[in-house]
Amino acid sequence: MTTVVAVDGPAGSGKSSVSKAAARRLGFAYLDTGAAYRALAWHVAASGADASHASSVIDALESFDYSIGTDPDGYAVHVGGTDVTAAIREPRVSSVVSLIARVPEVRAHLTALFRSIIASTDRPGIIVEGRDITTVVAPDATVRILLTASEEARMARRSAELAGEKPADVGEQLKKRDQADSKVVDFMTAAEGVTTVDSTELDVEQTIQAVLDVITNSA
């Protein structure tokens, strides 16, 4: 049976890099659900639709032809044949993604897609990371983890990732996105049965180890 590891957490908690590294070490597949929401936000912008209008977003969903890699080593995101792996990380995407993620039709559509990707993996396991994986997408996952870190630590990490941007702007954007997102799904408190890993005092390697420990102890 496939081991499904669900990892939720706020922006800047390190969940993408940690989940990807853990998947690589275990020989598991890796699914970044945030990348799918970002790809749709990119598609909405590219098609000239207004991300703040739910009906325009739902229309854009009809023509959303996307593929997301699940290999932690060769991970890429395409929309209609265009490689958007780098473009979906740009601030112009980050600043509108919460608008599309709050639309219930979008969440239902992507949740169904994530479940079919999880069901069809040919590896011994898959690590799936996002905001509602432990609660909505895969509440029956073998292992469920909430990866947290203090707001200061998360902002410092995101500023380091986005070198060239003003730290104050990065912090403000991150806070705004977390506030908007947490109105839709609760990823700040662990649901029942979910193990919290707090990475505030840990470096990346220690966080990967902490996550691997939770996986080996519960899988």
List of residues contacting ligand C5P (CB under 6 A): 11, 33-34, 37-38, 97-98, 101, 130-133, 177, 181
12 is in an annotated binding site: yes
Q: Do residues 29 and 126 make contact, with C-beta atoms less than 8 angstroms apart?
A: yes
Nearer to ligand C5P, 34 or 125 (CB): 34
17 is in an annotated binding site: yes
DSSP state of 194: P
193 is in an annotated binding site: no
Nearer to ligand C5P, 27 or 183 (CB): 183
Nearer to ligand C5P, 101 or 215 (CB): 101
Q: How far is the CB of 108 from ligand C5P (least distance, A)?
A: 12
Q: How far is the CB of 33 from ligand C5P (least distance, A)?
A: 4
Q: Can you spell out the DSSP letters for 95-164?
A: HHHHHHHT-HHHHHHHHHHHHHHHHT--SSEEEEEESSIIIII-TT-SEEEEEE--HHHHHHHHHHHTTT
Planar angle of CA 47, 48, 53, nearest 5 degrees: 105
13 is in an annotated binding site: yes
219 is in an annotated binding site: no
Nearer to ligand C5P, 77 or 215 (CB): 77
Residue 5 host element (H or E): strand 3-8
Residue stretches of the annotated binding site: 9-17
